[in-house]
Amino acid sequence: MPYTAFGAGQTQFKRAWVRETVKAYREQSFWEKFMGTGPNNIVQRITELKKTEKGDRAMIGLKANMKASGIVGDNDIDGRREALETYWVEIHTDQLRKSVASKGRVDDQRSVLDFRTEAKDSLADWRAQVNDEMLFLAASNISFAYNTDGSARAVGSEDALTQLEYAADIAAAPSSKRHFTFDGTNLIAGNTGAIASGYVPKYGALVDLCAEAKMRGVKPLTINGQEVYVHVVHPKTFARYKKDADFRDVLVNAGDRGMKNPIFTGAAGFTVDGILFHTSNKVFNTSGATTKWGAGNAIDGTRSLLLGQQALAFADIWGSGDWHEETLDSGAKNAITLSQYTGVLKPRFMSRLDGDTAQDFGVICLDYYL
């Protein structure tokens, strides 16, 4: 007698739902368009563990530009070779999970919504949002204890993100030569306590910022043979840029470049002096913070980001994540859990251009009045 085995296709069904979830997650992620496995990406995705003396670890290799001028003519090259500045940095990793459950089979029967479909959308959105927020916070040197608007992160019955193995790797402040404030006229050393209402963005800030990045060896992305930095700012910051007369004049001559590249997706559509603008509400700001910036800790500010190669490292060891379905309450309730095994790091290296001090490799933070 032939039998119909509904369970036989469950593995295929699971894979199909994982693919759908990953697709939705990547479509919703701000940082996804900046990710790739090679160094010519803002976020270098690490998908494999590297064997080390201490076991298998997630590692990222950083290679600074060569500095010396070379050997002329037939001059002897022996003993005059330049050592490559290569650094291997470990990315700590940890598991993060999210689970949802249906109310029960009676409610499922009454509902016009399909629980699995709704779970897919909600879990994909959760994964996109939590990873985006951690990457923004890491790039800005803000603890995972906070949201990107500076408010304390709600935990509820779940765990604090500060318990993640890699949360402690987020430095308390940007490195000394990668942090600036614009006082309305000039770039000055980063100082959140100095922020005032006149510290608004202008075209001159971009000119100085790009010069600092090149001077200090922050490597731009190479896109279609052209070098590009990405400047991620809060929408209010971008609005203030557009109010500056010099910035508006530059926009008249700004042309579209390399628009087929993914990093142009969602961009402002032009480059200014080799800088491509992106905006996001998740750019760190103090609008929700109890303690703000400036005089009396009472002035709102925001931390814009200038991004080059290998600005961030994102270990994504499981790739698609793990999708697990089960029943609870003697089979009366359905539950779905999405798990990921990831790590986030803002790499630092010993910079010869900055007096052999430890500096952020590919990010410059720029603080403005919000």
d(CA 242, CA 98): 41
**Conformational region of residue 299, where left means phi above 0, alpha means psi within -120 to 50, and beta covers everything else:** beta
Which residue type sits at 137? L
Lowest mean pLDDT among 112-121, 191-200, 203-212, 279-288: 112-121
Q: How many CB atoms lie within 10 A of CB 97?
A: 14
Annotation: CATH topology of 173-311+361-369: capsid protein of prophage fold (3.30.1930)
Among 369, 357, 311, 310, which residue's Cα sits nearest to residue 177? 357
Residue bearing the bigger pLDDT, 358 or 107? 358
Per-residue confidence (pLDDT) for residue 268, from 0 to 100: 66
Question: For the whole model, what pTM was predicted?
Answer: 0.86
Does the pLDDT of residue 98 top 80, yes or no? yes
Domain boundaries, the chain: 10-67+85-168+314-347, 173-311+361-369
| DSSP for 168-231, written as a single string | GGS-SS--GGGEEEE-SSSEEE--GGG--TT----HHHHHHHHHHHHHTTPPPEEETTEEEEEE
pLDDT in tens, 312-336: 999 998 887 888 888 887 777 888 8
Residue 290 vs residue 24, higher pLDDT: 290
Longest dimension (CA), the chain: 88
pLDDT mean over 26-50: 88
CA angle 48, 21, 316 (to 5 degrees): 15
> What is the predicted pLDDT for the residue at 9?
46
Cβ–Cβ contacts within 10 Å for residue 46, how many?
A: 22
pLDDT at 270 exceeding the cut of 70: no
| Structural Rg of the chain based on CA atoms | 24
Q: What percent of the chain has pLDDT over 90?
A: 51
Query: For the chain, percent helix, then strand, then coil, each to nearest 5?
Result: 30, 30, 40
- Residue 151, pLDDT > 90, answer yes
